[in-house]
């Protein structure tokens, strides 16, 4: 039974990868489809809403995968699962292409000033956790690995806490093991640090 439990996340990841559409997304069609998304994720993908991620500049493959996971309820998070359930593969690709092509960052005037103590604490934590291996040295993400640089600080904190306590699920649970060793103070410092990368 333990082997089945360990294999399940890998199987889900493989299924999700196999479901990825093969065509290139059309960003102009995606812009029209994404208009309702701005209510939560902000104009041009820069969220001003607490615990809601910015989507601008995320890797296209990552966005495509997340939308498919929401649509297929492999990542069952409301209201996302309901909002995307009728999207076709082509529409998913178009929305992903639109957001991937937008410049990342905070909405104007939303970036709080940096805290020197938090930044000093976070740098060695990020190095020890080898965040740069998957998320790249720039923390810009790649393929199905999300961009962390410039993401909302509260969202990063919320996501890391979810990984640590096991409440955040999906196709990839590797982050659960990494976050398990982090204290609340570590999480706050890492979120502060990553939000201020550009």
pTM of the model: 0.85
- CA–CA dist 148, 48 (Å, integer): 16
Q: What pLDDT does 156 receive?
A: 97
Task: Work out the pLDDT band at 14, boundaries 50, 70, 90.
Answer: very low
Q: What pLDDT does 26 receive?
A: 97
The residue among 34 and 110 whose pLDDT is bigger is 34
Kindly write down the DSSP assignment for every residue of the chain, as one continuous string. -HHHHHHHHHHHHHHHHHTS--SPP-HHHHHHHTGGGHHHH-GGG---STT----TT--HHHHHHHHHHHHTTSS--TTHHHHHTT--HHHHHHHHHHHHTSPPSPPTT--PPPPHHHHHHHHHHHHHTTHHHHH-TTS--BTTB---TT--HHHHHHHHHHHHHT---SS--HHHHHHTT--HHHHHHHHHHHHT--
Percentage of the chain exceeding pLDDT 90: 75
Q: What pLDDT does 112 receive?
A: 72
Is residue 9 predicted with pLDDT exceeding 70?
no
Q: What pLDDT does 113 receive?
A: 80
Does the domain at 116-195 match CATH 1.10.760.10? Answer given as: yes
- Which parts are annotated binding residues for heme c? 37, 40-41, 80, 131, 134-135, 175
**What's the whole-number mean pLDDT along residues 76-80?**
90
The residue among 170 and 153 whose pLDDT is bigger is 153
Report domain extents, the chain. 8-100, 116-195
The residue among 79 and 106 whose pLDDT is bigger is 79
Kindly write down the DSSP assignment for every residue of 147-184, as one continuous string. --TT--HHHHHHHHHHHHHT---SS--HHHHHHTT--H
- Which parts are annotated binding residues? 37, 40-41, 80, 131, 134-135, 175
Phi, psi of 145 (to 5 degrees): -105, 125
- CA–CA dist 66, 129 (Å, integer): 24
Matching fold, domains 8-100 and 116-195: yes
At the top level of CATH, the class of 8-100 is: mainly alpha
């Amino acid at each position: 039974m333990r082997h089945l439990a360990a294999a399940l996340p890998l199987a889900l990841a493989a299924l999700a990868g196999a479901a990825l559409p093969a065509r290139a997304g059309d960003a102009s069609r995606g812009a029209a489809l994404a208009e309702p998304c701005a209510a939560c994720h902000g104009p041009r993908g820069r969220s001003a809403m607490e615990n809601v991620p910015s989507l601008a500049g995320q890797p296209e493959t990552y966005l495509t995968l997340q939308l498919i996971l929401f649509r297929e309820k492999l990542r069952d998070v409301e209201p996302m699962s309901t909002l995307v359930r009728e999207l076709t593969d082509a529409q998913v690709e178009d929305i992903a292409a639109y957001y991937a092509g937008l410049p990342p960052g905070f909405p104007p005037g939303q970036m709080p000033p940096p805290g020197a103590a938090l930044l000093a604490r976070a740098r060695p934590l990020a190095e020890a956790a080898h965040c740069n291996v998957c998320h790249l040295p720039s923390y810009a993400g790649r393929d199905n690995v999300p961009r962390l640089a410039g993401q909302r600080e509260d969202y990063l904190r919320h996501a890391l806490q979810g990984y640590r306590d096991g409440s955040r699920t999906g196709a990839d649970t590797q982050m659960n093991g990494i976050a398990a060793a982090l204290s609340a103070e570590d999480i706050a410092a890492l979120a502060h640090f990553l939000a201020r990368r550009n």
